[in-house]
């Protein structure tokens, strides 16, 4: 009875989060189409681009690439940490994968994973691509949309589907090498944690030093 309640609760939670994800995806897509797309063709964006070229330190401080990568790492390393723990305790559930999978499903809800972040970034990119298709060239718009799909949407689908580390009794390789997998994902989780702590300060210091040498 308790197991049935947990399963129904998990199913309801997943359904609610799916609806919330769809609403957020559509909202970000529309906001990107109506606001970010026009902004990229505005005089303000042209002025900002010229300032970033003229002052490299500004480019280093507001560059989106490391910001997105840092956010991805911060969303991913807790999931790797949970995977590591699950892989270490997997031998204790040998022959009872159903019980292990119940714990894995609950644990996956506690950390979430990077799927939301990836879908939101993908929605923003698709909104800009749609704006370019409607207002400029189809080639440019489809190129932006393709990049958004490959870099964000497809990985988001992958992580949403596999964030819960489910196993089966027939998976001999997982049973045999689960502890090595636990070590691997544990190292990745620790590396991601320390990267999240030190990446911004180190990047800022390097930008200041680079600016000091150029001036």
Residue ranges per domain, the chain? 1-51+114-162, 67-112+169-215
Per-residue CA distances from 114 to 120, 137, 202, 206 (Å)? 10, 32, 24, 28
Quick one: what percent of the chain has pLDDT higher than 70?
Answer: 88
Among 31, 76, 103, 41, which residue's Cα sits nearest to residue 196? 76
**φ, ψ for residue 112 (rounded to 5)?**
80, -60
What distance in Å separates the CA atoms of residue 81 and residue 186, rounded to the nearest whole number? Answer: 6
Which tens digits make up the pLDDT trace of 145-204? 999 999 999 999 999 888 877 777 666 667 777 889 899 999 999 999 999 888 888 877
pLDDT band at 19 (very low <50, low <70, confident <90, very high): very high
Which pTM was predicted? 0.84
pLDDT band at 4 (very low <50, low <70, confident <90, very high): low
Per-residue CA distances from 160 to 39, 65, 83, 85, 169 (Å)? 31, 23, 14, 19, 23
DSSP state of 94: T
Residue 1 has pLDDT above 70, yes or no: no
Among 89, 71, 81, which residue's Cα sits nearest to residue 108? 81
What distance in Å separates the CA atoms of residue 144 and residue 155, rounded to the nearest whole number? Answer: 16
Q: What is the CA radius of gyration of the chain?
A: 22
Do 102 and 5 meet the contact criterion of CB atoms below 8 Å apart? Answer: no
- DSSP, collapsed to helix, strand or coil, labels residue 170 as coil
Which tens digits make up the pLDDT trace of 103-162? 888 788 777 789 999 999 999 999 999 999 998 888 888 999 999 999 999 999 999 888
Kindly report the length of the chain: 215
Residues 6+ apart with CB under 8 A from 157: 115
With the C-alpha atoms ordered 147, 148, 151, 153, is the resulting torsion angle positive or negative? negative
Query: Which pair of tokens denotes residue 214?
Result: 């150029």
Do 28 and 124 meet the contact criterion of CB atoms below 8 Å apart? Answer: yes
DSSP state of 150: I
């Amino acid at each position: 009875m308790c197991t049935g309640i947990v399963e129904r609760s998990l199913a309801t939670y997943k359904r609610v989060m799916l609806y919330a994800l769809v609403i957020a995806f559509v909202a970000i897509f529309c906001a990107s189409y109506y606001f970010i797309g026009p902004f990229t063709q505005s005089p303000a964006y042209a002025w900002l681009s010229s300032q970033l070229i003229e002052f490299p330190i500004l480019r280093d401080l507001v560059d989106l690439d490391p910001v997105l990568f840092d956010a991805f790492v911060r969303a991913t390393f807790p999931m790797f940490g949970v995977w590591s723990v699950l892989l270490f305790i997997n031998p204790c559930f040998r022959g009872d994968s159903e019980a292990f999978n119940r714990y894995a499903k609950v644990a996956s809800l506690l950390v979430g994973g990077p799927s939301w972040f990836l879908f939101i970034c993908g929605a923003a990119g698709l909104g800009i691509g749609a704006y370019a298709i409607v207002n400029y060239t189809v080639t440019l718009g489809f190129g932006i949309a393709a990049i958004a799909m490959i870099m964000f949407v497809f990985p988001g689908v992958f992580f949403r589907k596999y964030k819960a580390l489910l196993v089966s009794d027939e998976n001999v390789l997982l049973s045999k090498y689960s502890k090595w997998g636990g070590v691997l994902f544990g190292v990745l989780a620790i590396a991601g944690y320390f990267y999240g702590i030190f990446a911004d300060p180190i990047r800022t210091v390097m930008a200041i030093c680079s600016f000091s040498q150029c001036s």
